[in-house]
Structure 1
Amino acid sequence: MPRHQTVKERAAWRPDEAADVVLLGGTGSLRDEVARIAAAAGLALRPEDPTGAPAPAPGGAPVLLGTGYARTLRTAAELVVVGFLDEAPALWDLAASTGAGRVAVLPDGAAWLAEYLSRTRRRETAGKIVALHGASGGVGTSALAGWLAAEAARSGTATVLVDADPLGGGLSSALGAADVPGLVWPDLAEAQGTVNPVQLAASLPAIAGFSLLSWPGAGKETLTEVPEADTAAEILSAAAGAFGLVVIDAGRLGSSPDIGRPADDIVLLTRADLRSRRAAATAAATAAGSGANIHVVVRGPLPPGTDEHLIADGLGVSLAGYLPQLRAVPASQHDGRLLELASNRRIRALCASLLDRLESGHQPGRLA
């Protein structure tokens, strides 16, 4: 996780050389057209023998499949079937047989494919995306997300806090930022194509040293329209391109809409009572399938005979910290003074430790 890196510095990055995008199968005409599209996205085409297994594409680039590819493909890369309009029936058959999630039919799909490939070019320098989930409702996920963003900003990391719950009343209200000018989610619901990271960062409200992408706060007109997954994914990609750390207040696992892009790390916050621990076990099992690094923070008070280490061991996830019960949190959140508690010594210690864990690339335990 980059430290002391500004938006301007991140936006100025350019790759030393183009990364590769792999094309398997297809005609010479298709290879020429895909090469042109890839070049527009800052990538170099690497055609390969359609009868062989592809070498991994650097930088997480997707693998493109053209007609004529007939092998069973075993790869973790994203698969995109590509071809011309007169091949359309064969393209859909190929997508079904290979499990490809997307089909680009040229020439109409050329602009979409160029935009899709251009996202690959930004991935190497993308900031870390961290999603905070509560094992149960009302556990304090929003508070911890706000404090973590404030501590990261205080340490010099360019940080954005993202509110992923359109029905939560607006995270900006709890942080005292409801009247700070800047874009909110409904302003971006109809965004199309590539979102410029620098423009996004410059358009968001800022508070306590970090930027905020929230749903409208209390008293604001709220639109119920939620961005499509592809739109949300592009916005998060742009946020990761502009900031060193993207903190997502993701609410309870499964309760918020799909925000379109998986997190690099998931921080699961749970109470220590038995019922909450059972909910946390279910949440941890769900999170284990996401491919993200999983961390758990235990919130006090602790029942007699147990501690945060025993709880984490029971979940099969490494302990990231202990959050003591703070009686002032509900009133502070209601009154928009949540960030006043970010200077609390115990909260700062927890957030600093969690940031160090995220920055060090610690690989916590997963469920067996």
Structure 2
Amino acid sequence: MTDERPLVIMSDETLLDEILRLAAAVGCEVERAPDLVSAGRSWARAPLVLIDEEVIEGAVELPLRRDVLMVTKGTPTPSTWERAFAAGVRQVLSLPDAESALIGALADIAEGPIVPGGCVIGVIGGRGGAGASVFAAALGLAAGEDGALLVDCDPLGGGLDLLLGAESTDGARWPSLQLDGGRISMKALRDALPEHAHPRGRLPFVSCDRDGDGPTADALASVVDAGRRAGKVVVCDLPRHVDARTRPIVARADLIVVVMPAELRACASVRRVVKGLFDRADRAKLVVRGPAPCDLAPEDAAVAARVPLLTSMAPERHLDRHIENGEFAPRPRGPLITAARTVLAELRASTHLTEAAA
């Protein structure tokens, strides 16, 4: 979070209270001044200035600076627009209609500049029991210290906290994480979430619970967007059937990993799963998990599934037993983490190429 504070010059107490409420909601501290004279040097120093109509009453123009927003109650009159722009105001925001725009401007100050490198990866099972949740958790660990955010998008998956052995760890799960689709900072989110401690750092995660509702589409979007803005690798454990709740997350995904066992029946299932990704099917790549009961090669499985092969992996010895005992700690050089690192390298390469093209 940045130490810079927006300057608020308001004489309308009702409007001031509303702005302070919105600022508090996104964790943004503000500096207040009753009038332009009292603001002093803060006028030029503040990263953003919010004023009401009385500030420009009788003023020919305001001292020259960028990022001055006028906030009004209700729709501004034509004369208000005229005086605002003549005085050098960049934008007029009328509440409550422009509340989201004002929240965004305040959140930008609270969070600081967008951190580069943020990306979204979806993980989906090619068939039931393919190991998608395990692979999603491994991606979170492989991303390194403070590098990832793990998001449970499947309310029927039993909860990622159980997989991580963190069901007793304090922190909000989806039923108690009250989000309505508005913007949330990564700092505020991390303060609320449980974390899984591992040798390379701490992995914040959002888990479904055994009771209560799963996430809404708006809540998922808020969490994923917060992680991406903060430069995190946001790993989303997706249900096999993409619906209205998870479709916005699939749309945000830079890469969709389809995990499948090396089985012929799984190849047929993968084709149906990928078809359900609609216009994001071209972002799907395959991770094939051994062992193969009939010696089906990963390359042949990819051809049969009609999905490009990203990597394959041998089984991780004793992993199932460790998970049942409440311990998720894949070997640092084992097949699971090695495959996860290969996927992350592909993700970073693809997002780098996309940014370069843009």
Sort the TM-score into its range (normalised by shorter chain): 0.5 to 0.7
Separation of aligned partners in 2, 1:308 and 1:206: 34
Change (3 A) 1:267 1:123: farther
Separation of aligned partners in 2, 1:278 and 1:13: 54
Residue number in structure 1 paired with 2:311 = 321
Offset of residue 243 of structure 1 = 4.4
Aligned partner (choices 211, 226, 234) of residue 246 of structure 1: 234
Separation of aligned partners in 2, 1:13 and 1:161: 28
Q: How many residues align?
A: 262
Separation of aligned partners in 1, 2:149 and 2:170: 15
Q: Secondary structure at the match of 2:130?
A: coil
Separation of aligned partners in 1, 2:117 and 2:176: 23
Separation of aligned partners in 1, 2:309 and 2:222: 32
Q: Residues 3-39 of structure 1, C-alpha deviation per residue, up to 9 Å, x if partnerless?
A: xxxxxxxx5599xxxxxxxxxxxxxxxxxxxxxxxxx
Q: Residues 187-235 of structure 1, C-alpha deviation per residue, up to 9 Å, x if partnerless?
A: 2234463212211123222222211111236xxxx222x3432232112
Offset of residue 347 of structure 1 = 2.0
Asked if the contact 2:119–2:232 (Cα under 8 Å) also holds between the matched residues in 1, the reply is yes
Asked if the contact 1:150–1:342 (Cα under 8 Å) also holds between the matched residues in 2, the reply is no
| 1:299 and 2:292 matched | no
Asked if the contact 1:284–1:315 (Cα under 8 Å) also holds between the matched residues in 2, the reply is no
Separation of aligned partners in 1, 2:134 and 2:266: 18
For 1:144, give the aligned amino acid. Answer: F
Aligned partner (choices 152, 173, 193) of residue 204 of structure 1: 193
Offset of residue 277 of structure 1 = 0.3
Q: Residues 294-322 of structure 1, C-alpha deviation per residue, up to 9 Å, x if partnerless?
A: 22101112244631012223334321211
Change (3 A) 1:192 1:274: closer
Superposition misfits of 4+ residues, deviation over 4 angstroms: 11-14, 113-124
Separation of aligned partners in 2, 1:349 and 1:333: 19
What is the TM-score normalised by the length of structure 2? Answer: 0.62
| 1:283 and 2:276 matched | no
Residue number in structure 2 paired with 1:144 = 135
Change (3 A) 1:199 1:321: same
Separation of aligned partners in 1, 2:113 and 2:177: 20
For 1:211, give the aligned amino acid. Answer: P
| 1:213 and 2:203 matched | no
Q: 1:102-113 residue pairs with structure 2 within 5 A?
A: 108-113=96-101
Asked if the contact 2:125–2:132 (Cα under 8 Å) also holds between the matched residues in 1, the reply is yes
Identity, % of aligned positions: 25
Q: Residues 244-299 of structure 1, C-alpha deviation per residue, up to 9 Å, x if partnerless?
A: 21111113243794274331210001122121100111222333522762221011
Change (3 A) 1:340 1:211: same
| 1:235 and 2:228 matched | no
The higher radius of gyration belongs to 2
Q: Secondary structure at the match of 1:289?
A: helix
Asked if the contact 1:165–1:256 (Cα under 8 Å) also holds between the matched residues in 2, the reply is no
Separation of aligned partners in 2, 1:13 and 1:308: 51
Change (3 A) 1:118 1:324: farther
Q: 1:1-368 residue pairs with structure 2 within 5 A?
A: 11=1, 108-115=96-103, 125=116, 127-153=118-144, 156=145, 158-191=147-180, 193-207=182-196, 208=198, 209=201, 210-216=203-209, 222-224=211-213, 226-254=214-242, 257-258=245-246, 260-261=248-249, 262-287=252-277, 289-290=279-280, 293-304=283-294, 306-326=296-316, 328-337=318-327, 339-343=328-332, 345-361=334-350
Change (3 A) 1:289 1:117: farther
Separation of aligned partners in 2, 1:342 and 1:257: 34
Separation of aligned partners in 2, 1:340 and 1:172: 14
Offset of residue 110 of structure 1 = 1.7
Change (3 A) 1:318 1:122: farther
Separation of aligned partners in 1, 2:232 and 2:301: 31
Offset of residue 343 of structure 1 = 3.1
Gaps of 5+ in 2: 5-47, 49-74, 77-93, 354-358
Q: Secondary structure at the match of 2:143?
A: helix
What is the TM-score normalised by the length of structure 1? Answer: 0.61
Separation of aligned partners in 1, 2:314 and 2:226: 35
Asked if the contact 1:151–1:352 (Cα under 8 Å) also holds between the matched residues in 2, the reply is yes
